[in-house]
Amino acid sequence: MTWDDELQYSLKRLVEGLGATREAARPGFSLALAQVLQAFEEISICSVLEQIKEKHNLEKVKKKLVRNAAFGNFFGVMALFQSGRLVKDQKALLESIQLLQQLAHHQAHLRDLPRKTLIDILSEVPETVFEEVLFDILRGDLASAFASPENLHLLLVGIQKFPSVLKPKNLKKLFGSPTVVNEQNIPRLVELLQSAAKSEKKDKKLPGLVFDLLQVSLKEGAFELFWKEGVENGVLKEKSGPVSYMCYRLLGSALPLLSLEQLQMVLKGKVMQHYGEHVVKTQLPDRFKFAPEMEDYVDEFLNSCDDPERQMAVIIGFSTLTNQGYPVFSSSSKVVRHLQPVVLQKYIDWLKDMFLRPDLDCCLDFSSNRQKQNQGKVNTAQHKITRLRKWLIHRLANIMEHAVKKEESLVMDISRFCFFHAFFETKKKASQIHETRVLPSEPLDEQTRAVTENYFFGLLQTLNTLTVWGDTAKAAALREKHIHGVTAEGKLWIFLLVEYADKLLSSEHVKAVRPFTKGQRDVWERTLQSVKNLQKKENKLNGAKVVAFQQLLLLMAVHLFKDQSETVDVLSDLLNCTERAFSKEPKKKKTDNTEPGWVEVMVEILLSLLAQPSLLIRRISKSVFVRICPNLTKRSLQLILDVIDPYQEQNEESAVVVMEESEKKNKSDQDMDEEGSEDSSDGDSEEENDSGEEEKNEEVDEDFRSQLMNVLQAGNAVGGDESDEELDDEAMMALDKNISALFAEQQKRIQAKKDEKDRIRKEKILRRDFKIKVLDLIEAFLVKQPENPLVFDVIEPLLRLIEQCMSSDSDKQEVDFLQKTASIFRNSLCRAKQYCKRVDALQEDLHAFVERLVEKACKHTDSSVALYYFSASLYLLKVLKGNVSDKSSTPPTPLPEKGSSTIPQAAQLLSTGCLDVEKVAGIYRQALTQFLTKRNSALTYSMFHDLFKRFPIMCKPLVDTLVKSVTAGARQHHQAQACLLLQKVLQLHELKLFMTEEEWEELIRESISQVTESLKTVGKCIVKTDKEKIAKILELLNFLLKTVKEQELRVKLTELEKVLVALNQPEGVGNSPRLDSLYWNVMRWLGYTKPKKEKTTHKPAQEAENLKRKKKGFLPETKKRKNRKKGLQENGLAPAAGEDGEPAASEEQSLGTNTPKQKKGLKNQSRGVRENGVAVAAVNGGDAVADKKKKKKKNRKRKGDGHHEAEQAPAAKKAKGRVSQETQQQQGKANQQKQGKVKKKRKVKKAPVQEE
């Protein structure tokens, strides 16, 4: 085949594939054809188009293949277009356009794909080609532009692409008007836009027709007409989701194209108001929200726009779209990062001016239906101003987080503004105080000041995390040190604010909202002086510690303006602690009755600050605590541990926490938007339902029952003979009154109980939350001071906390608290790489501590808790072993003579440090004995394995206990665990360093002896624990015998060998393959080998053997018609029967010449007999015949051999029948019965094959 032939064949195949039945294949063939046409330009485009038309002729194709043919033509044109050569060939272009026009009538299959492709082709065609070739063909489509959205889109693309061809003069000839957007065409345009919106609703994008119409309206100068009449008064009137979203997307897409006047018109129009209503209505989580998409449009516009005025118009336009005064645009939006510096400054000035002099007239305000109903209940104007100011102050405070090009003057300006209006008010204008130059048109109410105050402290948190700006060398050095919260000069932002506050306090033109008393002012002055003194010491002392104290002092000084009564006391104590912490006076020894040291006071202050809702206070408090960790005392640490102690009563402290948190919640509730009030009725109804259910479940109080009976008896309603008489009206009214009063009192009591339960529940949650924060301090102490002896005081409180959490409720907060505590204990304490190195004076205490921990682990019933106690004891072992005692200790066992490279490692292992090995070994020996004797012990194998692995020095003292427990274990499971632990210990190479060769040999000898005694007690294995024990014994024996053989130890194995040989019985190991494998692995070391199984053979007829070995798909010689009689004569006689009446095996079978399938069958049959590695042959000939028949049936099911099976089946049946008849005549009655059973089985198993 030549090259041209191959190319033509490829084209033929590709053209055929364009109309493939598989939809996913068509685009692939189209793309491949496009690539071929692009690579081989010698191929004529017209010839390929003719092949496509001929192959996928819509007139000649069958009706059921019309869809495939339509797609074949369409993808063919697509391939020509994608090749890039269609536009260059005018004839092919003309025919392709005509073909697409024909395909446009097949909307049932292709929908609008041909029209869209036509538009794509049109956008690539040169203007001359369009005018000379395509204009006449497309004249009809262009003339009927208002008939369908596709035709209108074609016209709009043509107008933009070929303005000199589709001039107003030609347009008038086409459809009677020189422009597309005019008053006459608006109604039809509205219908087409609505149709286009519904067609694109699944794609969630702006239809191309709508965007092109927008561009044409701008080109024709009719944008105002198009927007007001076509969009706002036309399309938007249809209340449907797709149409509304199309209008929103059109608004966002139009922003970059509009002038300043057009932007102002659009941003104050009905589409914007409609968008605002959508944002307010879609507050529920399951509703579709368009707000993020609109924010993307605004973000893209601000990023691409270089005109400051248009940027300002858009950002203010969205900031003035308000719902009862509150803008719907997010106050934390990140779009401000694209504002130019000039625009950002103007926007900040506008925000401040609107805060001071709110102008509701410039806002595009709307109200929801529920808000309109409730308008009479509130002062509308004041309510709107409050809501607007809340958004404005949050927008101001949030700008610093997202603005990219920030200057220190800008940040300080915003910070001063927020601080001033949170805590001060102007008495008189002052030129030196910028914030007093503009007086508020409406006074700030308490709610506004509270909101401003909250946002200011959030602003402080932002300032504390700001990176250093500036290009100076000092600023770069600060950035390299990762220092935050300071200016380029190194000054703290919060210090600059405190200086500004001091200036305001000294001014007569302003007054504080909460004026200071003389004592508070003295504390303020003292704080400033202390901070200045610290700044002088910053370079001389620890800089980080000085800065931490400065931040805490300054932050508490600012909090004086918020909560003066509590902050004064805290600040006074903090100042005293600061002076004592940085004083150079030597520490004085004090008795227990003296006043607490500065560290204790400081810890109490920090604990109280942790209960504050402010994140900044908690962060700075933790930072200060990290700096004072080296100065912690036992009493100060105990203050922290008392907080997390589950047995300590903290009613007073918890009440304080509840009050603080409740105040915080009340303020946050006040700050919530009123849009959420629409769902309040649902919440109330749910609470009522809950209370009703609780009332139903409430048990009747016996006191209430007796009171009710007394009331009824007093009214003669129950009891006595008069109970049948009816009461008069007065008595009934009096009885009803008494009963209602009684039930009202009962209801009050029930409500009081519910309130008390709710209070206790909230108190418990808040106390738990506070403890979680305190855990952060403990973690910081363990991480920063791992070598401090006070670490030992943290162990037991953490263990008690874990134990208490394990037995408490399993709610999410409790689980989080437990996980955090366990993580700190495990990672920061037990796994710490550094530990205390000065425990010589604490040796006795630590040894007693180890004993106490191990005893608690033994006494516990929960293994998970016991594991933590045991891990703590191992941590103490690590500390004791890693320390060097000053006293002379017992010299260790002399090192074995080995290479010099191993001497340092061995010396390190043999070193006991401060560890009293005998005492600790006794402690763990008792625990190990309990583990191996007590039935429900909380101790586990992993605990002791970890002990031996981490501390090999403990192996030698405890290995004797393990050896004895091989036989002395209380139960089979305990003996198995002892074997496993003993194996792991013997495998540790460090164990040999602590033993002489004689001791090692004696240990191996004793271990083998104990194992031998344990094996003598083994009976028939039925229970799972017995098998587990034998498995562990055999694994241990395998290692012991391997050690004996490889190290040539003098150990007698005679008795063990006898026991193992006796175990090789059916009642010994059993029929477990795993035990069998382990058994023979052990016997291998004693010189025994696993006996090979004797191959048992079946006794089928000779022709069956030939049938099994025949090739698939070929007829055997005996089955051929000419040789069938001969084969029966040769193979029909049965072999002579054996002594037991069964037919003897043939010579070939006795030699073991079986087929693979027979071998597989033999293996499966002999598996039940093979118990001790010896195969027993007991297979009868009838089963062999049955197996042969089964395999015959399986061969018949194979696909592809249907013809041969049809020929073989009758002949095979006849041959089998004759053979069976001859064998039955030569066998006895017993054999005949067996053959009958085989036949029955054969009949039963034939049935499914026949059904198939």
Give the whole-angstrom CA distance, residue 737 versus residue 402: 66
pLDDT of residue 946: 93
- The position carrying tokens 């395509």 is 134
What three-state secondary structure class fits 511?
Answer: strand
Report phi then psi at 365, rounded to 5: -100, 150
Q: Are 802 and 815 in contact (CB under 8 A)?
A: no
Mean pLDDT of the chain: 78
Report the b/e string of 497-534 with b at 16+ CB within 10 A: bbebbeebbebeebeeeeebeeebeebbebbbebbeeb
Per residue in 405-414, pLDDT tens? Answer: 678 888 899 9
**Average pLDDT of the residues in 1210-1216:** 37
Top pLDDT among 513 and 1193 is at 513
First to last CA, the chain: 47
Residue 424 host element (H or E): strand 424-426
Name the token pair of 19: 């109309």
Helix axes of 113-124 and 149-161: crossing angle, nearest 10 degrees: 0
Residue 592 neighbours by CB under 8 Å, 6+ apart: none
Nearest-Å Rg of the Cα atoms of the chain is: 47
Give the whole-angstrom CA distance, residue 570 versus residue 602: 10
Q: What percent of the chain has pLDDT over 90?
A: 25
Name the token pair of 113: 């794909």
| Max CA separation in the chain (angstroms) | 135
Give the whole-angstrom CA distance, residue 235 versus residue 193: 7
pLDDT of residue 936: 85
Residue 774 host element (H or E): helix 729-784
Name the token pair of 657: 């926490």
Give the whole-angstrom CA distance, residue 1187 versus residue 1179: 12
Q: What percent of the chain has pLDDT over 70?
A: 76
Q: Are 494 and 614 in contact (CB under 8 A)?
A: no
What Cα–Cα distance (Å) separates residue 1187 from each residue in 522, 948, 1158, 1214? 107, 57, 9, 18
Give the whole-angstrom CA distance, residue 122 versus residue 130: 8
What Cα–Cα distance (Å) separates residue 463 from each residue in 385, 460, 469, 967? 28, 5, 12, 72
Look up the pTM and report it: 0.69
| Residue 900 pLDDT greater than 70, yes or no | no
What three-state secondary structure class fits 331?
Answer: coil
Report the b/e string of 891-916 with b at 16+ CB within 10 A: ebeeeeeeeeeeeeebeebbebbbbb
Report phi then psi at 646, rounded to 5: -70, -15
| Residue 893 pLDDT greater than 90, yes or no | no
Residue 327 host element (H or E): strand 326-327
β-strand pairing of 424-426 with 510-512: antiparallel
CA-wise closest residue to 295 among 255, 325, 262, 257: 255
Helix axes of 792-806 and 729-784: crossing angle, nearest 10 degrees: 140
Report phi then psi at 327, rounded to 5: -60, 140
Q: Are 171 and 177 in contact (CB under 8 A)?
A: yes
Q: Are 498 and 557 in contact (CB under 8 A)?
A: yes
According to DSSP, residue 486 is labeled: B
Give the whole-angstrom CA distance, residue 521 versus residue 505: 9
What Cα–Cα distance (Å) separates residue 841 from each residue in 789, 829, 837, 880? 11, 21, 11, 11
Give the whole-angstrom CA distance, residue 40 versus residue 14: 14
Beta-bridged to residue 1143, according to DSSP, are 1137
**378 — pLDDT class (breaks 50, 70, 90):** low
Residue type, 578: T
What three-state secondary structure class fits 426?
Answer: strand
| Residue 1022 pLDDT greater than 80, yes or no | no
**658 — pLDDT class (breaks 50, 70, 90):** very low
| Residue 1175 pLDDT greater than 60, yes or no | no
Q: Are 355 and 435 in contact (CB under 8 A)?
A: no
**Average pLDDT of the residues in 423-440:** 87
CA-wise closest residue to 396 among 363, 439, 348: 348
**Average pLDDT of the residues in 143-157:** 86
**1223 — pLDDT class (breaks 50, 70, 90):** very low
**Residue 831: how many CB atoms within 10 A of its CB?**
10
- The position carrying tokens 């939006």 is 333
pLDDT of residue 986: 92
Name the token pair of 345: 């400054």
| Residue 518 pLDDT greater than 70, yes or no | yes
Name the token pair of 979: 């074997």
**Average pLDDT of the residues in 33-42:** 88
Helices and strands, counts by H and E, the chain: 57, 5
Per residue in 351-368, pLDDT tens? Answer: 999 999 999 999 998 887
Give the whole-angstrom CA distance, residue 101 versus residue 849: 93
Give the whole-angstrom CA distance, residue 638 versus residue 449: 41
CA-wise closest residue to 11 among 34, 25, 20, 21: 34
CA-wise closest residue to 698 among 750, 761, 758, 756: 750
CA-wise closest residue to 181 among 195, 199, 193: 193
pLDDT of residue 981: 93
Name the token pair of 520: 């508070």
- The position carrying tokens 């008392």 is 642
pLDDT of residue 1109: 52
pLDDT of residue 376: 62
pLDDT of residue 725: 54
Burial of 646 (0-12, 13-18, 19+ CB in 10 A): middle
Top pLDDT among 134 and 1135 is at 134
**Residue 264: how many CB atoms within 10 A of its CB?**
16
Report the b/e string of 1213-1237 with b at 16+ CB within 10 A: eebbeebbebbeeebeeebeebbee
Give the whole-angstrom CA distance, residue 70 versus residue 74: 6
Q: Are 780 and 629 in contact (CB under 8 A)?
A: yes
**97 — pLDDT class (breaks 50, 70, 90):** confident
Report phi then psi at 19, rounded to 5: -105, 30
CA-wise closest residue to 157 among 129, 116, 188, 187: 116
Per residue in 587-634, pLDDT tens? Answer: 444 444 556 788 888 899 899 888 888 888 888 888 888 888 888 889
What Cα–Cα distance (Å) separates residue 917 from each residue in 408, 911, 943, 955? 65, 11, 18, 11
Residue 348 host element (H or E): helix 341-356
CA 800 to mean position of chain CA atoms: 31
